[in-house]
């Protein structure tokens, strides 16, 4: 079974440009999450999809960030226009709908974004 | 609000036992998980507690006290490869998971 995959793994863009990160969750996982870790700090929650619906987007920092999940499959996170403080590692994670033993979240390897 | 507190750094020697504490303030709490993250890698699941008590998985154990809003991760027989960041995470209704700031563990020879 393939894990959570993210693309691109690394991206360096200039301030004001646009970047779109993509996440393919584990097949069959209805829950999809985006998290961000900045400069070795906490893994900060951004938002949560259940299938194609946004369950909780309370962690999205501002309207420069737009997340979508087309057809309840893969998800994209677009940052437009990017600012210097957006630099960090963006993790996508997924889990099954029923929770089960702790609702284990499986993380992707992350997309490392550097805004210069 | 929701928050988790854990120490920023812990240092221990190979073969030792180390305990990483986590206190949480979470509404709708139903469980506490622990994740390990090596530099440059993805966080990986270690353990989960929904009920009070100790859960043991090999060299790692995790403990939860719901009445104290407190848990810990216990690592025994430390190895150099255990050097990593360890995150506690609280699970709430709606499958939302909030992470602590992480504890950086340094294992010395």
Closest-CA residue of chain B to A88: B40
pLDDT value of residue B24: 94
Question: Which of B35, B19, B21, B27 is CA-nearest to residue B91?
Answer: B27
Distance from CA of B79 to the nearest CA of A (A): 22
DSSP string, A18-87: -EEEEEE--TT--EEEEEEE-TT--EEEEEEEETTEEEE-TT--STTEEEEEGGGS-EEEEESS--GGG-
| Residues in A touching B102 (Cβ below 8 Å) | 40-43
pLDDT for A79 beyond 80? yes
Chain B contacts of A55, Cβ < 8 Å?
Answer: 94-96
Residues of B in contact with A101 (CB under 8 A): 48
Residue A48 has pLDDT above 80, yes or no: yes
Q: Are B101 and A42 in contact (CB under 8 A)?
A: yes
Are B41 and A109 within 8 A, CB to CB? Answer: yes
Tell me which chain A residue has its CA closest to the CA of residue B4: A42
Q: Which residue, A7, A44, A42, is CA-closest to A25?
A: A7
Element (H, E) at B8: none
Q: What is the pLDDT of residue A100?
A: 46
Contact B91 A103 (CB under 8 A): yes
Task: Look up residue A39 and give its two tokens.
Answer: 């400069």
For residue range B37-83, what is the model confidence (pLDDT) as tens digits?
998 889 998 998 989 999 998 999 999 999 999 999 999 999 999 99
Q: Is the pLDDT of residue A73 over 80?
A: yes
What's the rounded Cα separation, in Å, for the pair A35 and A7?
15
Task: Identify each DSSP E strand in chain B by its residue range.
Answer: 3-5, 9-13, 18-25, 29-37, 44-49, 53-57, 60-65, 70-75, 84-92, 97-99, 103-108
Radius of gyration of chain B measured on its C-alpha atoms: 13
A48 and B94: CB-CB below 8 Å?
A: yes
The whole-number pLDDT of residue B28 equals 82
Question: pLDDT tens digits for A15-37?
Answer: 999 999 999 999 989 899 999 99
- Chain B residues touching residue A50 (CB < 8 angstroms): 95
Q: Which positions in chain B touch A43 (Cβ < 8 Å)?
A: 43, 87, 99, 102
Chains A and B form CB pairs within 8 A to the count of 64
Residues above pLDDT 70, as percent of chain A? 92
The answer to whether A28 touches A96, Cβ cutoff 8 Å, is yes
**pLDDT over 90 percentage in chain B:** 72
Whether A98 shows a pLDDT value over 60: the answer reads: no
A88 pLDDT more than 90: yes
Distance from CA of A64 to the nearest CA of B (A): 22
State residue A97's pLDDT score. Answer: 60
Cα–Cα dist B33/A104, whole Å: 8
Q: Please give the Cα distance from A103 to A110 (Å, whole number).
A: 20
Task: Tell me the C-alpha distance between A91 and A113, whole Å.
Answer: 11
């Amino acid at each position: 079974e393939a894990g959570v995959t993210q693309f691109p793994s690394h991206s360096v863009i200039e301030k004001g440009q646009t970047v779109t990160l993509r996440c393919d969750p584990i097949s069959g996982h209805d829950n999809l999450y985006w998290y961000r870790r900045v400069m070795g700090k906490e893994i900060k929650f951004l938002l949560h999809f259940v299938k194609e619906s946004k369950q909780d987007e309370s962690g999205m920092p501002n309207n420069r960030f737009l997340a979508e999940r087309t057809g309840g499959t893969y998800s994209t996170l677009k940052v437009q226009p990017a600012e210097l403080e957006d630099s960090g590692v963006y993790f996508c994670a997924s889990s099954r709908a029923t929770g089960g033993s702790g609702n284990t979240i499986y993380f992707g390897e992350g997309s490392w974004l550097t805004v210069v | 609000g929701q928050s988790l507190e854990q120490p920023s750094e812990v240092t221990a020697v190979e073969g030792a036992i180390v305990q990483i504490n986590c206190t949480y303030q979470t509404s709708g709490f139903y469980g506490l998980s622990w994740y390990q993250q090596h530099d440059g890698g993805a966080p990986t699941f270690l353990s989960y507690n929904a009920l009070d008590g100790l859960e043991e998985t090999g060299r790692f154990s995790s403990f939860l006290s719901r009445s104290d809003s407190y848990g810990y991760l216990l690592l025994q027989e430390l190895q150099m490869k255990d050097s990593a960041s360890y995150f506690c995470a609280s699970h709430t209704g709606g499958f939302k998971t909030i992470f602590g700031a992480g504890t950086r563990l340094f294992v010395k020879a």
